[in-house]
Amino acid sequence: MINIEGPLRTHYPVVIAGGGSVGLSLAAELGWRGIECLVVEERTGLNQHPRANAVASRTMEYYRRWGIDSAITKAGIPPDAPADYLWVSTLHGRELHRISLPPFDELVASRIAGDYAEDEHAWSPYLKTITGQNEVEAVVLNYVGGLAPVDYRFGWRLLDFSDGESADGESADGESADDGTGGANETVTCRIEHLGSGRVETVSASYLVGCDGGRSTVRRQLGIDLDGRAALASFVSLYFRAPDLINKHSFGHGNIFFPLHRDNRGFILTWDDDATYTYHLILEEGQDWESIDPAKAVADVLGEPVDIEVHSVQPWTAHALVAEKYRVGRVFLAGDAAHLFSPTGGFGMNTGVSDAIDLGWKLQAALQGWAGPDLLDSYQLERRPIGIRNTEEAADCFDRLYAVMQYGDELDATGPDADAFRAELGVDLKDQEKLISSSGTLLGYRYEGSPIVVPDGTPAPPDDARTYVPVARPGHRAPHLWLDDGAAIYDRFGPCFNLVVLGESPPDPSQIVAAASAAGLPLEVLRVTEPAAREIYGADLVLVRPDLMVGWRSDSVPADPAAVIDQLRGAAHLPN
């Protein structure tokens, strides 16, 4: 429910500080699981300045489970619009490179016809969905508003909290207080201010999650530092409406334009039907973002003036930073509070949403009493390496893009030398396609060495930014496939663990079911008879975790099913 006024309750199982994309997604995941939570968001409404435009296929797979995927698609670029990305000198100069993805409608039609133009179209029900972050948040907020377990509050700020532990994981008396479920203290105490009245209330929570963005109060209070590369570049983001702009250049619709000329370098994102844009202009060192005149900046890149109506102007800085820890006792970090990205590649929000999905079921397990002592710690052991991997990939995309933004008028010069220069540049620009086509990054991540995954000894496929290898190796994403009745296999997975039984004559899984039941671990059995599923999943029995990751697989029932179940719930570790 969405609430502004009214007193808070004295206790919530989970308090989420920050109600942006990640806080909303965590609230949705918890609410969908029936777990009560409070979300406090200091803004009085959603941030209307669009930042992310690329909703990853993985994120859409989670949203599909909540039934909001088509609302997100509809809220974005029209589904019949081509998805073109253009590298240009300026909007009045040359096209230097282009990548074209099929419109969403075409993708659906080719799937129904069983005709995939490329492997990439078969890896997920979605490619990239181009919907502004403000629109995405509005759809998720609407979903959250219908979830009785969620108490979402605009206009409330987390001031501080106490759980008796410091950043090194020790309690005030120097003893390690962590028994796995959060430490000797039963709760964390949060002081929360109602900004309209200045009233401060105190609530206790079993767990606190800081989804409070790059300046995270929660991270700062925990004393957690960020590692990596700070301040790759500073930008000013101009959000404006200019219906006539498309008529003043010759490129037609583009989802993103990358002007490379050093005087105009940055990127221009198109929203709606080619009338509204954000121009992210890279600032020179020491340049003040407030000194930028939006109308002049747009006229400069376009080569002539155009009428613009400015909606908002915001500065931002690209980083590649990851928190040293994602958890201290009962307090967790997720999203930008845990990692700060360069937006090149479109990974920041999407990585944060996957954090929320990893954490959601683990908090549920801890609250419902079926988590073992390693389960909550597995959150940072699984997600922090992905934070490092993805921030580094985004920084690599930034470095490659920035390297080709050093040129001036030679980009548009004529003559054989200029042609030769552009041909050479074209090779670099082809390399930039992973900015857009990044299924390997978005789908191919894996939780190598996780204490709650049972390895099966098979080798890992290469971790390549562009190419995803569908594989149900433990620690990887359960692969997507369409079933014979037209459903996605994900549509069959419940919110609990799913034991997928495949092949022509699989073993009887009842001993595994009994072991799960004895441990209190919620498990459903899903019989899938399609031969293609057996082929992709690579075993007769595959245990898919509540976050759609594979935890274990085998062709036979394990000798000690209880030991496997215990490892999946973080209660024991099998010898490798």
Ligand X SMILES: Cc1cc2nc3c(=O)[nH]c(=O)nc-3n(C[C@H](O)[C@H](O)[C@H](O)COP(=O)(O)OP(=O)(O)OC[C@H]3O[C@@H](n4cnc5c(N)ncnc54)[C@H](O)[C@@H]3O)c2cc1C
Q: Would you tell me which residues interact with ligand X (CB under 6 A)?
A: 17-23, 40-43, 47, 51-54, 133, 157-158, 211-213, 217, 237, 280, 316, 335-336, 341, 343, 346-350, 352
Question: Which tokens hold the place of 57?
Answer: 């296929």
Least Å distance, CB 258 to ligand X, is 13
Residue closer to ligand X, measured from CB, 320 or 349: 349
Please, which residues bridge with residue 15 across strands? Answer: 38, 208
Instruction: In angstroms, give the least distance from the CB of 413 to ligand X.
Output: 31
* Identity of the residue, 37 or 539, whose beta carbon is nearer to ligand X in the bound complex: 37
Shortest distance, CB of residue 239 to ligand X, whole angstroms? 10
Nearer to ligand X, 356 or 512 (CB): 356
202 versus 529: smaller Cβ distance to ligand X: 202
* CB burial of residue 407 (10 Å; 0-12, 13-18, 19+): middle
- Are 302 and 245 spatial neighbours (Cβ–Cβ below 8 Å)? yes
Closest CB 260 distance from ligand X, rounded Å: 18
Structural tokens at position 379: 């959150």
CA nearest neighbour of 340 among 390, 300, 306, 383? 390
* Residue showing tokens 């919530």: 12
Question: What's the min distance (Å) between Cβ of 131 and ligand X?
Answer: 10
Least Å distance between CB 393 and ligand X?
Answer: 12
Q: CA–CA separation, 470 vs 323, rounded Å?
A: 30
Could you tell me the smallest distance in angstroms from the CB atom of residue 532 to ligand X? 31
Q: Which is nearer to ligand X, 58 or 422 (CB)?
A: 58
Q: Which of 64, 17, 22, 15 is nearest to 353 (CA)?
A: 22
Query: Cα–Cα distances in Å, from 460 out to 383, 438, 473, 523?
Result: 18, 18, 8, 27
Comparing CB distances to ligand X, the nearer of 279 and 447 is: 279
Angle among Cα 411, 414, 418 to the nearest 5 degrees reads 55
Q: How far is the CB of 349 from ligand X (least distance, A)?
A: 3
Nearer residue to ligand X within complex by CB, 348 or 479: 348
- Report the DSSP pairing between strands 266-271 and 523-527: unpaired
Residues 550 and 545: their CA atoms lie apart, in Å, by 6
Q: Min. distance of Cβ 42 from ligand X in angstroms?
A: 4
Q: Which distant-in-sequence residues (6+ apart) come within 8 Å of 23 by Cβ?
A: 16, 17, 39, 41, 209, 211, 212, 335
| Minimum CB distance to ligand X, residue 289 (Å) | 13
Q: Which amino acid is at 520?
A: G
Nearer to ligand X (CB atom), residue 171 or residue 221? 221
Structural tokens at position 123 = 């890896």
Among 244, 248, 270, 295, which Cα is nearest to 91's? 248
What is the rounded CA–CA span in Å between residue 317 and residue 395? 12
Question: Which strand (E) or helix (H) includes residue 316?
Answer: strand 309-323
267 or 447, CB closer to ligand X? 267
CA neighbor of 45 nearest in space, from 136, 133, 138, 131: 138
In the bound state with ligand X, the residue whose beta carbon lies nearer, of 280 and 534, is: 280
Closest approach of ligand X to the CB of residue 548, in Å: 18
Tell me how far CA of residue 456 lies from CA of 475, 515, 556, in angstroms.
10, 20, 12
Question: Which lies closer to ligand X via its Cβ, residue 352 or residue 470?
Answer: 352
Residue 40 or 127: the one with the smaller Cβ distance to ligand X is 40
Q: Which is nearer to ligand X, 53 or 204 (CB)?
A: 53
**Shortest separation between residue 328's beta carbon and ligand X, angstroms:** 17
103 burial class (0-12, 13-18, 19+ CB within 10 angstroms)?
Answer: middle
Cα(322)–Cα(332) distance, integer angstroms: 14
Distance of alpha carbon 289 from alpha carbon 405, whole angstroms: 19
Question: Cα-flanking dihedrals φ and ψ of residue 264, to 5°?
Answer: -130, 15
> What is the Cα–Cα distance from 453 to 461, expressed in whole angstroms?
17
Smallest gap, in angstroms, from Cβ of residue 325 to ligand X? 17
